[in-house]
Amino acid sequence: MSLTDNPTARPPLTHLSEDEVLFRDAVAAFAADDVAPRVRAMEAAGRIDAEIIAKYFEMGLMGIELPESAGGAGGSAMMIAIAVEEISKVDPAAAIMVDVQNTLVNYPIHRYGNADQHARYLTRLTTDTIGAYALSEPDSGSDAFGLQCKAEKTTTGWKLTGRKLWITNGAEAEIFVVFANADFAKGYRGITAFIVEKTFAGFSVGKKEDKLGIRASSTCELILDGVEVPDANVLGPVGQGYKIAIDTLNGGRIGIGAQMIGVAGGALRAACDYLKQRTQFGKSLTEFQGIQFQVAQAATELEAARLMVYNAARLKDAGCDIVREGAMAKLYSSQVAERVTSVSLELFGGYGYVKDYPVEKFYRDAKIGAIYEGTSNMQLQTIAKIVLTQGV
């Protein structure tokens, strides 16, 4: 039977390979069966269920892009985006743990670490250990390279002093990629990356933030009180931390874009299911043209955002420069997430404003997309610089 014989049948997803479709479906089934029943409890407790974390490792979701020789799944950036999107359709708070592990922790250690660091850390990170990325500080957010965390050389290694703020996975992580300045006279060229373990002397986790959304994901302060770090844990060359940070965040923005299209997709799916069940004035809500148009507009914007995220992931896998595409994908997907979750909430009417339905949570969760891993204004600045110098 051809598609013309059955016009309602959808053709294969040309932007996903057969293996990627199978992977997507497996993650979607896991999200529906294992994550969804725990969402409300995790939100209330403010933490990800330990059984979910264990399942992440068991399924290979904590080392998607790493080669099998490092304990990874030998996958791709595209597969990371797919996994984050599918889990985010159920709970973006649960999804961000997978995203950060893959894009902000595994990536820089694998890309810039030496063989010894690979052997000591990558197997742990793909087997049973959570990681975190520590760049932001109380006085350096968008101006990340104005960080004041100090790295002092000692006879046996380094001593790190300062505070880090807004650290995702901070409560669960045991391995941290930390950025500190080893030579303030050189400005941002003194910034150096370090692999820090939670057990290192002088290291402690401080306040856990009480957030508007993605509440099950931990966001914590890190206190570095003369943390003793051996020379063997310097990640990349001394003074090249700013390059590592930029490169890592460029790829990380694809993950945030995937999270945001997942949030929008989950909210719109919930709204459509509700519309099919609800009647007013003797008709299904799906029969009202005003509602149909809102759904159509939301679905169109969501598809456009999805294609931008997927395109950026494909380009990364091809080894291309993704600064512009990553920034655009994050910017637009976060905007779409806010619009689509808002419309979806309104389609529920009064029910959308209460916690009995999932759309209220999606609405709160969506806001973070415009803030972390580079605010929307910073993405606009990045895009503008490239377009004005290189053209459209």
pLDDT score, position 15? 77
Does position 2 have pLDDT exceeding 50, yes or no? no
Q: Does the active-site annotation cover 346?
A: no
Domain CATH number, residue 330? 1.20.140.10
Domain-embedded: residue 248: yes
- Alpha carbon distance 224, 232 (integer Å): 18
- Regarding whether 115 and 70 lie in a shared domain, the answer is yes
Domain-embedded: residue 376: yes
pLDDT score, position 4? 47
- Regarding whether 224 and 247 lie in a shared domain, the answer is no
pLDDT score, position 87? 98
Q: Which amino acid is at 204?
A: S
- Regarding whether 385 and 269 lie in a shared domain, the answer is yes
- Regarding whether 349 and 333 lie in a shared domain, the answer is yes
pLDDT score, position 10? 54
- Partners of residue 309 on adjacent β-strands: none
- Regarding whether 113 and 88 lie in a shared domain, the answer is yes
Domain-embedded: residue 234: yes
pLDDT score, position 205? 98
- Regarding whether 378 and 255 lie in a shared domain, the answer is yes
CB 286 within 8 A of CB 292: yes
| pTM for the whole structure | 0.95
End residue of a domain, out of 98, 129, 160: 129
Computed over every residue of the chain, the mean pLDDT equals: 96
Share of the chain above pLDDT 70, in %: 96
- Full residue range of the structural domain in which residue 214 is found: 132-239
pLDDT score, position 3? 44
Domain-embedded: residue 266: yes
pLDDT score, position 230? 98
CB 134 within 8 A of CB 176: yes
Instruction: Name the more confident of 340 and 5.
Output: 340
pLDDT score, position 8? 56
Does position 1 have pLDDT exceeding 70, yes or no? no
Domain-embedded: residue 1: no
Does position 221 have pLDDT exceeding 70, yes or no? yes
- Regarding whether 94 and 197 lie in a shared domain, the answer is no
20, 137, 360, 373: the active-site residue: 373
Domain count, the chain: 3
Write the pLDDT tens digit of every residue in 114-123: 999 999 999 9
Q: Which amino acid is at 375?
A: T
End residue of a domain, out of 101, 129, 157: 129
The alpha-carbon radius of gyration of the chain (Å, integer) is 22
Domain-embedded: residue 2: no
- Regarding whether 247 and 375 lie in a shared domain, the answer is yes
